Structure 1
């Protein structure tokens, strides 16, 4: 009988699944979707490859679980921070700050997750998860009543993503947050004066 590393079989399976997903996330972030194989994830998690297949029977399912977990953590954290803001600007500032903190800590979805590199079964779901990620930012920007919220959301999110890359390459987090907040604020000021034109899809 297999060794049970928890008080109950249910807890044992939950612990194993969490360990596998965590290892898959680390591999995805470090080396991309093509590196997320059952063998690589098993080695990262300190498990037998057969243990990985027990929970995720294909590479596609394993990648999907890693991507889902990565976005779920970010979406929950951002939603919580934004909800604490008393007005739209404060919520936007909170979103920028929390997003860059997440990027600095875990290289999450604010770094590029290339859809073309993902298994087909993941691509539609990633678009949905990305929309959930942007949703708190979009709601706050729309509440400001800017001239063209869609393009403003796209530009603001683009600034956050660019700042995340700078943090990844050594830019101090505090500097990146302050600069990005100022940049986004300037764009919001312009848009509130009616300067926004055109359309931009952020997904």
Structure 2
């Protein structure tokens, strides 16, 4: 029987799962999607590939769980900047700034991998649901401000931010892209 390194078996499994996710993210950042395999993740934490399958059913499952891990963290940051004090323009601008900062985060490697990965339809549906939760804080702040069509306006704003993220990821001048994107976002939101 393997030794557990926590007070309970459940805590041990949770710790091992977290270590495997961290290793998977490190591999994605360093090697890209081609380097991400259950065997590589296991090797990174000193676990046999067969043991990794107790936590993940496939490489696609590793990606899906990385998304499930990252999105709530980013959604919380987005909700935090839109729910705080300040005028509408400041809150929209902060939402945009946090969204653009995603590009410089290791979590961005997950997004890039998921976009190009062949995932089962159920995973795609779940990704769409998670994506929608990222837009919710902007939609909520727009609804609070009395926008007639907060959902549409929030999605249009997300598209503006998407182009900003794409340009940042491609290596464009970060300051110029950030300031121009945030300016266009605020104008589009009529704030």
Q: With structure 1 as the length reference, what TM-score do the two structures score?
A: 0.76
Equivalent in the alignment of 2:155: 154
Equivalent in the alignment of 1:125: 126
CA distance in 1, matches of 2:42, 2:155: 38
Equivalent in the alignment of 2:18: 18
Give the total of aligned pairs.
189
> Which runs of structure 2 are paired with 1:48-67 in the superposition (5 Å)?
48-67=48-67
> Which runs of structure 2 are paired with 1:89-100 in the superposition (5 Å)?
89-100=89-100
CA distance in 1, matches of 2:67, 2:40: 16
For residue 114 of structure 1, give the secondary structure of its aligned residue in structure 2.
Answer: helix
In the TM superposition, residue 124 of structure 1 has moved relative to its aligned partner by 1.3
CA distance in 1, matches of 2:153, 2:109: 20
CA distance in 2, matches of 1:173, 1:9: 46
Change (3 A) 1:160 1:107: farther
CA distance in 1, matches of 2:185, 2:32: 31
Q: What is the alpha-carbon root mean square deviation over aligned residues?
A: 2.9
In the TM superposition, residue 122 of structure 1 has moved relative to its aligned partner by 1.0
Gaps of 5+ in 2: none
Equivalent in the alignment of 2:178: 177
CA distance in 1, matches of 2:110, 2:154: 14
Q: State the Cα deviation string for residues 135-155 of structure 1 (Å, max 9, x = none).
A: 001122233444544443222
Q: With structure 2 as the length reference, what TM-score do the two structures score?
A: 0.80
Equivalent residues of 2:24, 2:62 under 8 A apart: yes
CA distance in 2, matches of 1:47, 1:127: 32
